[in-house]
Structure formats: structure tokens, C-alpha cells
């Protein structure tokens, strides 16, 4: 009996330690799980087929933010593009050429710690809010260069929460969200249901908290085979919206990074961007 109790106590001790390690790992390394930046030296030279200019803006805390502006002659409007969690504008600049070829100017920026954007030298008290403040800076840049009625806010994956945030505070022509999530907390709970997620997360990125303050048309694209943000999470965000100016476009068999390869996307994106 005593031996059985001892074994049980040892097992509980081991399980408790494993649980503690998992909690600690999520808390201390969540930035590594959430963000996958490519950092570029200041002297890096970009090469794109379309004309472009590098843009520097001052973000929260005085850090320098870097982005690219692809002007288009007689542009139909401007796409303010908030990219996903990996890479830098070195890659995203190429991806957004999809829109310049359609006659839209593009502004695509790197978040702090990404590309040529600076890494804060001091610890930021609220790193998530700093990202939202930075997104305000880029919307202001777009508004200073184009009529607000011509600004199309576009968010992809991680960028969908920043796109929704700036749209909730302003009056762009429309918002397009590609593979969005309800919240990072929701995403984490789906992956680690046994952990106290709410207490561990520094980043909430609760897109659903901002989306009902958006007054312009909103369109969501989501693939049924998305292996990063489950299709049902995009549906959950859509269903939380009270606006009548909303549309959900399902991409059968679409994954997280390949929607542009499906006709359900390419045959509808022009109509989506022209909505008002």
C-alpha cells in the first residue's frame, strides 16, 4: 500500500513538473511561437518588378518602422496591406504585386522586429498595444497620400487583427480579411486546451473585439483545409459580426497560404475591392 502511494506521489510530481514546464514554455517563448520575423540590414537593396519607394515612419516609443510603397499611375485605390507573421516585406512585396497588376497602389509594412523596422531597445510595457499604435501610423501615412475613400484595408493571418483595429477607428472604403482568427487566445486554447491560456498569454489579439466597430463592408476569405487557422475560427469571427455589410467566401480545399491559387478567390477579389 505504501509503495503504491509512493509511486502515485512520484507520478504526480513528474506530471506536475511537466505541466509547469509547458506553462513556462508557453509564457516565456510565446513571441517565438507567434512571430517569425526575417530581419534585414539597413543597407539591404530590394528588387521588384514594379516601381517602389522605401518609407520610414516613427512608431510607438520612437522606433523607426519600415515599409514599402508601390505607387501606380491612375490607381484605382490603395491597398494598405498588413502581412502575416513570417518573413519581411522582401517577400511580401512580391506577394502584393498581385494587387499592383490590378491597378491598385500598395503600402505594405514590416512590424517592429521585422525587416528593416527597428527592435525596441527597452522593454515595452504593453507590446501588443505598441503593434496597434504602429498600425495607426501606417493608416495615417496612407490617408496622407490618398483620399480615405480610396483606402482598402487588407489583412492576412496575423495582420487581420491590425487591419480590423485600424478600420474600427477610421473610415476606409472596405476591409478584406484573409484567413483571420477570432483571437490568439482562442487559437491557443484550441491547441493547448489543458493549459491556463488566459493567464499565460501576453498577446490577446482579440479581433472580435474590434470587428463590430467597423462601419465599412467586410469580406472574409477562408479555406476549408487551413492547417494554421482552422476554417471554423474564421466562421466564428464572421458569426460574431452584427453588420449587414459582411460576406464570407469559402475556398474549398484552400490552405493557409495558397488561396490565390483558387478560382473562388481570383474570380471574386475584384468585386470585393470595388464594394462600397
Please tell me the predicted confidence (pLDDT) of residue 27. Answer: 56
pLDDT, one tens digit per residue, over 254-268 is: 999 999 999 999 999
Question: Residue 22's domain spans which residues?
Answer: 1-30
pLDDT, one tens digit per residue, over 180-207 is: 999 877 766 666 665 555 665 677 889 9
pLDDT, one tens digit per residue, over 126-172 is: 888 999 999 999 999 999 999 999 999 999 999 999 999 999 999 99
- Residue 119 to residue 179: CA distance in whole angstroms: 27
Cβ of 204: how many Cβ atoms within 10 Å? 15
Does 115 lie in the same domain as 185? yes
Q: Is residue 143 part of a domain?
A: yes
- Residue 45 to residue 33: CA distance in whole angstroms: 29
pLDDT category of residue 208 using cuts at 50, 70 and 90: very high
Asked if 167 contacts 159 with a C-beta cutoff of 8 angstroms, the reply is no
- Residue 39 to residue 141: CA distance in whole angstroms: 23
Place of cell 490568439: 184
Number of structural domains in the chain:
2
pLDDT, one tens digit per residue, over 92-114 is: 999 999 999 999 999 999 999 99
Residue 10 has pLDDT above 60, yes or no: no
Does 13 lie in the same domain as 129? no
- Cα 258 to the chain's mean position, in Å? 16
Does 146 lie in the same domain as 62? yes
- Residue 158 to residue 179: CA distance in whole angstroms: 9
Amino acid at each position: 500500500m505504501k509503495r503504491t502511494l509512493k509511486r502515485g506521489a512520484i507520478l504526480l510530481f513528474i506530471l506536475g513538473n511537466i505541466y509547469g514546464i509547458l506553462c513556462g514554455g508557453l509564457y516565456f517563448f510565446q513571441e517565438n511561437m507567434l512571430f517569425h520575423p526575417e530581419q534585414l540590414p539597413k543597407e539591404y537593396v530590394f528588387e521588384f518588378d514594379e516601381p517602389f519607394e522605401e518609407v520610414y515612419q516613427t512608431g510607438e516609443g520612437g522606433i523607426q518602422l519600415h515599409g514599402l510603397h508601390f505607387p501606380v499611375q491612375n490607381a484605382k485605390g490603395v491597398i494598405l496591406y498588413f502581412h502575416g507573421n513570417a518573413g519581411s516585406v522582401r517577400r511580401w512585396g512580391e506577394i502584393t504585386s498581385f494587387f499592383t497588376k490590378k491597378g491598385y497602389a500598395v503600402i505594405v509594412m514590416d512590424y517592429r522586429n521585422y525587416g528593416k523596422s527597428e527592435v525596441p531597445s527597452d522593454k515595452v510595457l504593453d507590446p501588443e498595444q505598441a503593434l496597434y499604435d504602429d498600425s495607426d501610423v501606417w493608416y495615417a501615412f496612407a490617408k496622407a497620400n490618398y483620399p480615405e475613400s480610396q483606402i482598402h484595408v487588407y489583412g492576412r493571418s496575423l495582420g487581420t487583427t491590425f487591419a480590423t483595429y485600424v478600420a474600427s477607428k477610421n473610415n476606409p472604403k472596405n476591409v478584406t480579411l484573409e484567413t483571420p482568427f477570432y483571437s490568439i487566445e482562442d487559437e491557443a486554447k484550441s491547441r493547448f486546451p489543458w493549459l491556463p491560456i488566459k493567464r499565460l498569454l501576453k498577446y490577446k489579439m482579440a479581433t472580435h473585439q474590434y470587428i463590430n466597430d467597423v462601419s465599412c463592408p467586410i469580406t472574409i476569405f477562408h479555406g476549408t483545409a487551413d492547417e494554421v487557422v482552422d476554417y471554423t475560427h474564421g466562421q466564428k469571427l464572421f458569426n460574431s459580426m452584427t453588420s449587414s455589410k459582411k460576406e464570407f467566401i469559402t475556398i474549398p480545399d484552400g490552405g493557409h497560404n495558397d488561396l490565390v491559387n483558387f478560382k473562388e478567390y481570383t474570380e471574386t477579389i475584384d468585386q470585393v475591392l470595388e464594394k462600397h
